[in-house]
Chains A and B, each alone.
Chain A
Amino acid sequence: MAVKKEPEILLKASKINKSFGNFNANKDIDISIAKGEIHALLGENGAGKSTLVKIFYGVLKPDTGTIEINNNEVSISSPNSARKNGIGMVFQHFSLFPALTVAENILIALDTKVKFRDLISEISKLSNEWELFVDPLKRVSELSVGEQQRVEIIRCLMQNPKLLIMDEPTSVLTPQEITNLFKILKRLAHSGCSILYISHKLEEIIELADQVTILKSGKSIATINAKKTTTKILAETMVGKEITSLKKVNIKSASKDIALELKNLNKQKETNFGISLKNINLNVNYGEILGVAGIAGNGQVELMEILSGETIANNENEILLETLPIGYKNITERRQLGIEIIPEERTLHATVPNLTMNENTFLTYFSKYYNTNNIISNFLNNPQNSIIESQKIIKDNDVRCPEANPLANQLSGGNLQKFILGRSLANNPKVAIFSQPTWGVDIGAATSIRQKLLNLSQNGKAVILISQDLEEIFELSDQICVINNGILSKIMPVDKITAADVGLLMGGKLETDIELETIK
């Protein structure tokens, strides 16, 4: 039997501890990354992944613990010193200036002085070598998200890194772009650059990684050979229990009655960095879930605002509730008509963090306490009025509160989402519109939220689900459409379209370019 060569260790971290106040984000984490290895870091939201990589990149300082690179102990005090130690990082949220060109963005991040002309040829060389195609003289605001990510990667490669950290790189990409990225990452690893890859998507990790370290509540609970495991094992190790599956009842109460309809809706963008909505046609029936897929920043925010009434349509007839034109109605009036909105941002949009639950209930309930004849009681309409309702929402939805009427910022993300959902659903809406309802909540809470969406449609309500999570879209929706650069694709039944087709639509292909099985 041949003796297997022990892989050379590039980075070894021991007993890393980091706490914020009373919260231990990282507890005694050990991890070692071999040279040329793709090492995945897996964990639920809040498991401590980001904290750990921020420590490696010098953004945060560990409370205790040591980091060794090539067997020498190092202290990484800033991103600058991380780069000097050969560590580069691509953040989940890009740090590019939209108004500058690609080359300018790379120039300002360089630690050494370079002539601009040399820089451009250097960028072209790197981008050809690694198939990271991007025009160095284009403005970042004109690039797609996938291209922006390439710029970030090139920026790291300029420093000849030994370790490249990628924080949830695929959350903003189409399936085709993901395939491309994986090719590049594998080539990079093959050439000797180690990659620390953060994700909560299991299939990706199995496909890409060599080793996977699983974090749970700040501790590293296992390091597994990714080539010899399954998604089920990974998921159960990550969550720590068996995962219950959704109960999808096949007998649907879907009717042919249209609940909400958008007709040739156009809306100019309000700022340079917004997206204009172009000729949008959409309809959703009672008893049906319509999934709107798309990469972030393609008009979902604008679509949500025009559906909610936070922005008003240009023409009253562009939005119909059944047959009633509601384009000019504001969000309060639409709420009264039975349209409920669950926005993507839980704090600062759906709730105010430093107000109590009672006050946050009043936020969307205040119009209920109007009495057209009593001017004084309308003037004195205050959060006191919503105490009973807020306590009922908390009780009925099992919102775990540290005290009877806590501030919204005292609740965990999952509990706050339960409250927000409960607050909307207590109004018994006809139409419920969700944006990224399970973003950032743990798998248990996500399952219960998805179940609630299914229950809504089974009870004959119309549901619109705007999500970047394709798995979620396919799992829940009856009809699917895709938004790209402010243009909405045709609506197609879920069993007539594949994830690959949706991916192409997300990437900007037109329906006519794709051979769909059927087009109505």
Chain B
Amino acid sequence: MITFSPRDKVSKNWIIIGPALSIFLTVFFGLLIFAFLGYDPLETLYQIFISPFSRIDRVSDIFVKACPLIIIGIGLMLCFRANVWNIGAEGQFIMGTLLAGSFALLFPNVETKLLIFIMIFIGFLGGALWAFIPAILKTKLNVNEILVSLMLVYVAMLFIDFIVRGPLRDPMSFGFPLSKPYPEGALVNKISFPGIGFLGQLHYGILFIILLIPFSWIFMNKTLSGFKINVLGAAPKAARFAGFNQNAVTISVLIISGGLAGVAGVIEVSANIGQLQPEVSFGYGFTAIIVAFLGRLNPLGILFAGIIIATVKLGADNAQMSMGIPKVVTGLFEGILLFFLLTGETLQKYKIRWSKVRK
């Protein structure tokens, strides 16, 4: 049997050596696998790790890719800190997008950007409503939120599929399951830098993150609400002893994280797609769970984790396009990276003991 026991203290050196060793091992096994499969290993590594940084517009694309991951990750941070396991951010992302998008399509000719702000609000509402279902079931009937939130992802996926094939299908779409394009007022524009112009796909949605990161840090560390979340996650009985309402905290964190997932959806679709389609998310809601944990459930960490994950995803895309490496292989490489990063982090805090198997 393997048992993990906490280390007495975490060595300062290992805080630096640990991640470095994780990266080294990832690179080492990556090289082995690529070589074994007959791809030029150095070229592949270059594509995955370096090429996303090779041009300024590519760097800005990292931020575009990281944007929804970070927004959802911050919301999930609140849940996970409170020991509430919201696994359904993907569904909340979809429902937020769908509700806000349907609203936008009611106003086909609106050009004022007021619309996108209203959509962000409605997107928050949509995601929050979807997360409210597991919240109310958990607090009233003690139903496990992991199962409910996860299963609602598939309900949301099928629901948006139904909507864009049925009620909201654009008659001009030649039978494709697509809605009409969003009106001008519903789009998040790309940022035009004076003298340079556009930098890749970099859009104004990035401003939301710039506000969200410091605000969420203050919320977690400098407010009574943040304190309640921390206490509830660490010791539910102590939260009761302090007089904190456990159900209120559980419902709030689910609503906020669902809402943020919905906002992430609105920004993502309004910036990059501009209409509703059956697939609006590409697993952002699930990837963000990894981002939240890799970022050690703190806002700055989540910012960096979002950037790391986005880089590797973009690098993997580059490797697919320029070298024809199949998606499963780059997916395998992403898996190796996460495995070593998370293992490294666990081993920093815990030591492993092997003991004999008992009958």
Bound-state CA distance A359–B240 (Å) is: 15
Is A310's CB under 8 angstroms from B240's CB? yes
* CB nearest to B219 among chain A residues: A379
Is A379's CB under 8 angstroms from B223's CB? yes
Bound-state CA distance A351–B238 (Å) is: 6
Asked whether any CB of chain B lies closer than 8 Å to the CB of A215, the reply is no
- B241 partner residues in chain A, CB cutoff 8 A: 308, 310, 331, 341, 343, 349-350, 363-364
Asked whether any CB of chain B lies closer than 8 Å to the CB of A355, the reply is yes
Asked whether any CB of chain A lies closer than 8 Å to the CB of B12, the reply is no
Asked whether any CB of chain A lies closer than 8 Å to the CB of B243, the reply is yes
Q: Identify which of B93-101, B229-237, B274-282 touches chain A.
A: B229-237
Out of A22, A78, A366, A378, name the residue touching B227 (CB < 8 Å): A366
CB distance from A386 to the nearest CB of B (A): 11
Is B234's CB under 8 angstroms from A364's CB? no
Out of A78, A364, A378, name the residue touching B358 (CB < 8 Å): A78
Using a CB-CB cutoff of 8 Å, which residues 167-183 of chain A contact chain B? none
- A350 partner residues in chain B, CB cutoff 8 A: 238, 241
Asked whether any CB of chain A lies closer than 8 Å to the CB of B359, the reply is yes
- A7 partner residues in chain B, CB cutoff 8 A: none
Asked whether any CB of chain B lies closer than 8 Å to the CB of A382, the reply is yes
Using a CB-CB cutoff of 8 Å, which residues 73-95 of chain A contact chain B? 77-80
Using a CB-CB cutoff of 8 Å, which residues 211-228 of chain B contact chain A? 218, 221-227
Question: For the complex, would chain B's binding face be called helix, strand, loop or mixed by DSSP majority?
Answer: helix
Out of B8, B221, B225, B231, name the residue touching A363 (CB < 8 Å): B231
Total A-B residue contacts, Cβ distance less than 8 Å: 73
Using a CB-CB cutoff of 8 Å, which residues 366-404 of chain A contact chain B? 366-367, 378-384
Number of chain A residues close to chain B: CB under 8 A: 38
Is A379's CB under 8 angstroms from B356's CB? no
Asked whether any CB of chain A lies closer than 8 Å to the CB of B242, the reply is yes
Is A355's CB under 8 angstroms from B234's CB? yes
- A309 partner residues in chain B, CB cutoff 8 A: 243
CB distance from A411 to the nearest CB of B (A): 15
- B242 partner residues in chain A, CB cutoff 8 A: 331-332, 363-364, 366
Is A80's CB under 8 angstroms from B359's CB? yes
- B235 partner residues in chain A, CB cutoff 8 A: 347-349, 352-353
* CB nearest to B224 among chain A residues: A381
Is A332's CB under 8 angstroms from B356's CB? no
Is A380's CB under 8 angstroms from B223's CB? yes
CB distance from B78 to the nearest CB of A (A): 16
- A21 partner residues in chain B, CB cutoff 8 A: 8
Q: A78-B356, A332-B243, A363-B242 in contact; A345/B237 too (CB < 8 A)? A: yes
- A78 partner residues in chain B, CB cutoff 8 A: 356, 358
Is B227's CB under 8 angstroms from A362's CB? yes
Using a CB-CB cutoff of 8 Å, which residues 46-96 of chain A contact chain B? 77-80
- A345 partner residues in chain B, CB cutoff 8 A: 237
Contact digits for B329-359, partner A, Cβ 8 Å, 1 yes 0 no:
0000000000000000000000000001011
Out of B221, B227, B234, name the residue touching A354 (CB < 8 Å): B234
Out of B222, B234, B237, name the residue touching A382 (CB < 8 Å): B222
Is A348's CB under 8 angstroms from B222's CB? no
Asked whether any CB of chain B lies closer than 8 Å to the CB of A330, the reply is yes
- B224 partner residues in chain A, CB cutoff 8 A: 366, 378-379, 381-382
CB distance from B1 to the nearest CB of A (A): 11
* CB nearest to B221 among chain A residues: A382
CB distance from B81 to the nearest CB of A (A): 12
Bound-state CA distance A331–B244 (Å) is: 9
Q: A78-B358, A310-B241, A363-B241 in contact; A352/B222 too (CB < 8 A)? A: no
Bound-state CA distance A349–B241 (Å) is: 7
CB distance from A374 to the nearest CB of B (A): 13
Using a CB-CB cutoff of 8 Å, which residues 294-320 of chain A contact chain B? 308-310
- A22 partner residues in chain B, CB cutoff 8 A: 8
Is B8's CB under 8 angstroms from A331's CB? no
- A332 partner residues in chain B, CB cutoff 8 A: 242-243
CB distance from B266 to the nearest CB of A (A): 26
Is A363's CB under 8 angstroms from B238's CB? yes
- B221 partner residues in chain A, CB cutoff 8 A: 382
Bound-state CA distance A348–B218 (Å) is: 25
Bound-state CA distance A21–B353 (Å) is: 14
Contact digits for A440-460, partner B, Cβ 8 Å, 1 yes 0 no:
000000000000000000000
Is B243's CB under 8 angstroms from A330's CB? yes
Bound-state CA distance A366–B226 (Å) is: 13
Bound-state CA distance A383–B241 (Å) is: 17
Is B227's CB under 8 angstroms from A349's CB? no
CB distance from A457 to the nearest CB of B (A): 24
* CB nearest to A369 among chain B residues: B224
Bound-state CA distance A335–B241 (Å) is: 11
- B240 partner residues in chain A, CB cutoff 8 A: 310, 331
Out of B225, B237, B243, name the residue touching A348 (CB < 8 Å): B237
Out of A77, A331, A364, name the residue touching B356 (CB < 8 Å): A77
* CB nearest to A349 among chain B residues: B237
Bound-state CA distance A415–B235 (Å) is: 20
- A335 partner residues in chain B, CB cutoff 8 A: 243
Q: A308-B241, A352-B238 are in contact. List 18 more A-B contacts (CB 8 A).
A: A22-B8, A78-B358, A79-B358, A80-B359, A331-B242, A332-B242, A353-B234, A354-B234, A355-B231, A363-B231, A363-B241, A366-B224, A366-B242, A379-B225, A380-B222, A381-B224, A382-B227, A384-B222
Residues of chain B whose beta carbon lies under 8 Å from any beta carbon of chain A: 8, 218, 221-227, 230-231, 234-235, 237-238, 240-243, 356, 358-359
Q: List 8 A-B contacts (CB under 8 A).
A: A79-B358, A80-B359, A331-B240, A354-B234, A355-B231, A366-B224, A379-B224, A382-B221
